[in-house]
């Protein structure tokens, strides 16, 4: 059953990632392919490293794994980062304001959907472990009152913001080289 679940959820988020990549590709052309590769690499390596440090543990029900990370998680990252930017652009934000809005949307999605539903709730696909001086040790532990540590939400603001900002320099570099 876990392999079926792993295949299904990987297919779901890979498909959603293709959809958001297509929508962003209409505006940013080939730069989106580089963005996707960067997100997949950082998500895969980062998740493997952080989960390997013991901050959280993915449960076997996730099915298909690459190292410590369920195969679908990097595609979730692509989807959330890109969908956040698509929404920001659709609302009418441009440039840096769109990147900030994408970061805010990414944080809200993680705070209200990803963590409460997927790490708790009916699915419980991973579990957080309290770690002394965790990956954001500067955040006082009294602020960790959510489904995940506060540092996790900082990452879910910063990463979509940076991935939105990444598209501009890629396009600029491409015009200089070509």
Distances (CA, A) of 153 to 15, 23, 67, 149, 167: 25, 26, 24, 7, 22
- Cα 178 from Cα 176, distance rounded (Å): 6
- Output the pLDDT for position 140: 65
Name the burial class of residue 122, with classes exposed (0-12), middle (13-18) and buried (19+) by CB atoms within 10 angstroms of its CB. Answer: exposed
- C-alpha 53, offset from chain centre: 19
Question: What tens digit of pLDDT does each residue of 69-128 get?
Answer: 999 999 999 999 999 999 999 999 998 999 999 999 999 999 999 998 898 877 889 988
Tokens 């955040």 belong to which residue?
A: 139
Tokens 């690499």 belong to which residue?
A: 41
Please answer whether residues 73 and 115 qualify as being in contact, where contact means their C-beta atoms are separated by less than 8 angstroms: no
- Count, residues in the chain: 178
pTM of the model: 0.89
Please answer whether residues 71 and 6 qualify as being in contact, where contact means their C-beta atoms are separated by less than 8 angstroms: yes
**12-21, 32-41, 55-64: least confident range:** 55-64
DSSP 100-144: HHHHHHHHHHIIIIIIIIIISTTT--EEE---TT-TTTTS-GGG-
- Output the pLDDT for position 3: 86
- Cα 168 from Cα 91, distance rounded (Å): 19
Taking alpha carbons only, the member of 72, 103, 71, 68 closest to residue 88 is: 103
At 137, the pLDDT band (50, 70, 90 cuts) reads low
% of the chain surpassing 70 pLDDT: 85
Q: Looking at the DSSP assignment, which residues form a beta bridge with residue 69?
A: 66
- Output the pLDDT for position 175: 57
**4-13, 136-145, 155-164, 166-175: least confident range:** 136-145
- Output the pLDDT for position 147: 73
- Output the pLDDT for position 122: 76
Please answer whether residues 154 and 19 qualify as being in contact, where contact means their C-beta atoms are separated by less than 8 angstroms: no
């Amino acid at each position: 059953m876990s392999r079926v679940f792993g295949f299904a959820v990987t297919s779901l988020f890979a498909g959603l990632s293709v959809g958001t990549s297509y929508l962003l590709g209409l505006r940013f052309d080939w730069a989106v392919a580089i963005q996707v590769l960067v997100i997949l690499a950082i998500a895969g390596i980062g998740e493997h490293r952080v989960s390997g440090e013991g901050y959280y543990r993915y449960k076997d029900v996730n099915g298909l794994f690459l190292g410590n990370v369920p195969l679908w998680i990097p595609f979730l990252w692509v989807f959330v980062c890109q969908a956040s930017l698509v929404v920001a652009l659709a609302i009418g934000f441009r440039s840096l304001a769109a990147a900030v809005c994408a970061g805010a949307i990414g944080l809200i999605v993680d705070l209200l959907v990803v963590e409460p539903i997927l790490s708790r709730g009916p699915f419980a696909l991973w579990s957080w472990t309290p770690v002394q001086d965790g990956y954001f040790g500067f955040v006082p532990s009294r602020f960790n009152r959510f489904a995940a540590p506060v540092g996790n939400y900082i990452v879910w603001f910063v990463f979509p913001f940076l991935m939105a900002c990444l598209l501009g320099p890629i396009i600029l570099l491409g015009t200089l080289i070509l």
